[in-house]
Amino acid sequence: MPLVMGHEGSGVVAEVGAGVTDLSVGDHVVLSWVAPCHACRHCRAGHEARCEVAATVVGPGGVLQDGTSRLRLHEDGRQLHHYLGVSSFAEYAVVPASGAIRIRPDAPLEAVALIGCAVATGVGAVRNTAAVEAGTTVAVIGCGGVGLSVVQGAQIARAARIIAIDLHAEKVELAQRLGATDGIALSGGSANDALRRLEPGGVDYAFDAIGTISTIEESIAMLGLGGAAVIVGLPPTGARAAFEPLVLAEADQRILGCNYGGVRPQHDIPRLVDEYVNGRLKLDELISGRRPLEEAEEALDDLEGGHVLRTLLVP
């Protein structure tokens, strides 16, 4: 602290720094909080979401890849810190060039801002982390922005059954409009017990888009023979989950961690924008409303209440 928050964003390039050759003033971009270096061993292997250099920016330092902050308080010049290398709650953002992903100019900038994290993470969890096959069964715990993107990714992958689970009935209903074949609005009891009434043998893939210990454990319990639990939501630091490893071994099951959907930003983000423009991916349905930038705190309060998905902050 102090810092400029915001890790999803889109905009138009206003200026480029020395040495930037693949972006020009006027380009439309989506901001990626993973700005890959393209040089570390993970980037060279095509796993840019694991970039070792980008990981230093995501950490607690609040600076860019060169260890500096480019943000200052206007009144007294005091240094402000970056947030995940993006800091999009502002009229302007200073970002690494590899974190500004050029997109087609006819895509609505407001809607595609969501692709920078929630949508890329959710769809990427299906495509990259789990590699969901056509005809499989999928459960999604949590129908927020990420969970609804998982639902859409599974629908695009032609999963045979997609079961959406949430505490809020309106979110479950939206999940079904976006491609879920079944919905469970929990009012109490076990999510796994409710799922087993629909799919007694368990599912092929269970995605936890919440990140609490109970939802992680439930996602593992939901698996059928050969199934995979994908941990997309972020639990608290130091938390511990429990499962029975013998069941995992005997049933040939897997637990998969998922960071940023395993995306390659330069490849996956323009593809997702294309799918939105072409009508294959729904983004407008994820937008609960719009607020001016000055109401960022109120927008965060709305999000914490659990009844909104994404509120756009528009300068």
Predicted confidence (pLDDT) per residue in 63-80, tens digit: 998 899 999 988 888 999
Q: Do residues 133 and 111 touch, judged by C-beta distance below 8 A?
A: no
* Torsion on CA atoms 59, 65, 67, 70, rounded to nearest 10: -100
What does the pLDDT read at residue 266? Answer: 97
Q: Enumerate the H helices of 74-201 as residue ranges.
A: 109-112, 118-124, 145-156, 169-177, 191-198
pLDDT at 59 over 80: no
User: Coil, strand or helix: which one is 78?
Assistant: coil
What number of residues does the chain have? 315
Least confident of 26-40, 50-64, 76-90: 50-64
Res. 14 pLDDT band, cuts 50 70 90: very high
What does the pLDDT read at residue 231? Answer: 98
- H-run or E-run covering 199: none
Q: Which amino acid is located at 308 in the chain?
A: V
pLDDT tens for residues 171-195?
999 999 999 999 999 998 999 999 9
pLDDT at 128 over 90: yes
pLDDT tens for residues 91-123?
999 999 999 999 999 999 999 999 999 999 999
How close are the terminal C-alpha atoms of the chain, in Å? 23
- CA distances for 171 relative to 151, 195, 267, 285, 306, angstroms: 12, 17, 30, 11, 10
Structure tokens at 312: 């756009």
Least confident of 72-81, 125-134, 145-154, 278-287: 72-81
C-alpha span between 263 and 270 (Å, rounded): 11
Average pLDDT for 132-143:
98
Rounded mean pLDDT of the chain?
A: 95
- CA distances for 311 relative to 124, 218, 290, 292, 302, angstroms: 22, 29, 5, 10, 8
Query: In a 10 Å sphere around its CB, with 0-12 CB exposed, 13-18 middle and 19+ buried, how is residue 36 labelled?
Result: buried
C-alpha span between 304 and 191 (Å, rounded): 22
Measured over the CA atoms of residue 299, residue 31, residue 174 and residue 181, the dihedral's sign is: negative
